[in-house]
Amino acid sequence: MKLISYNVNGLRSALAKGLLPWLEEEHPDIFCLQELKAQPEQIPDEEFQRLGYYTYWHCAEKKGYSGVGLLTIREPDRVIKGIGNPEYDREGRFMRADFGQISVISVYHPSGTTGEVRQEFKMQWLEFFLQYVNRLRDERPYLIISGDFNICHKPIDIHDPIRNAHSSGFLPEEREWMDRFVASGFIDTFRVFNNQPHQYSWWSFRARAREKNLGWRIDYHFVTENLKPKLRNAYLLPQINHSDHCPVVLEIDF
């Protein structure tokens, strides 16, 4: 099965740039979306359903902000919207779909780039999220967590680790959190298959960053360690350009 995660930076904008024809051609079994920036009535469900998808959305209360989605060819056994905390759930950051023993999560971690208040919010969210998913594993031990983490884990994941050492998304405390997240039993699937530098999933719109490949790898498919034997491939699609992010792909025996 093929899973794709994609921060579309505004679903309506991505649709205007050709998202649907690309999705029809790529046709993943599961498509996790982040940063919808749309309300349910602004989403053309019928267009996705025409391609054979069941569609699920968890939109932010604030218009034009955040939101996650999950499209799947196979109907899930259950879909859970939200993480059980009203402060976080009003921002539409988490959705889970259960397929037999395996659960797929589409997640959009907060950004801290707008200042100290949101950076503190981000760090609080990260701790809550880590505790939540580790409790969830008691009930659902086979997890695939796909989405925009807004963190580069290691220097190889960012184009300029020295000058960005104090930038939100590469702060020591964020990277330490990623260390603890991985150590708790999760695998960065991309690095199972590709240990090359200059592999990124997000580029600033400024200074021709994408053209120069001055990027950050902040979008991931993490899986619990018990799924490692099922992994078949993981890669990026930097040539796909509906957003300032690119799609990230995971192929796995489901």
pLDDT digits (tens, 9 = 90+) for 136-145: 999 999 999 9
For residue 100, the domain's CATH number is 3.60.10.10
Mean pLDDT of all residues in 149-164: 98
For residue 57, give its domain range. Answer: 2-252
- Please indicate, yes or no, whether the overall pTM of this predicted structure exceeds 0.95: yes
Among the listed residues 180, 161, 186, the one whose alpha carbon sits nearest the alpha carbon of residue 171? 161
Number of domains in the chain: 1
3-state DSSP call for residue 118? helix
What would the two tokens of residue 237 be? 């699609």
In 27-171, alpha helices (H): 45-50, 86-89, 116-139
Task: Supply the DSSP symbol for 243.
Answer: S
Among the listed residues 211, 204, 246, 254, the one whose alpha carbon sits nearest the alpha carbon of residue 229? 254
Determine whether 148 is an active site residue.
yes
What is residue 254's predicted lDDT score, i.e. its pLDDT?
A: 83
pLDDT tens digits, 95-112: 999 999 999 999 999 999
Which residue of the set 29, 148, 157, 219 is catalytic?
A: 148
Share of the chain above pLDDT 90, in %: 98
Token pair 């093929």 is found at 2
What would the two tokens of residue 18 be? 């050709």
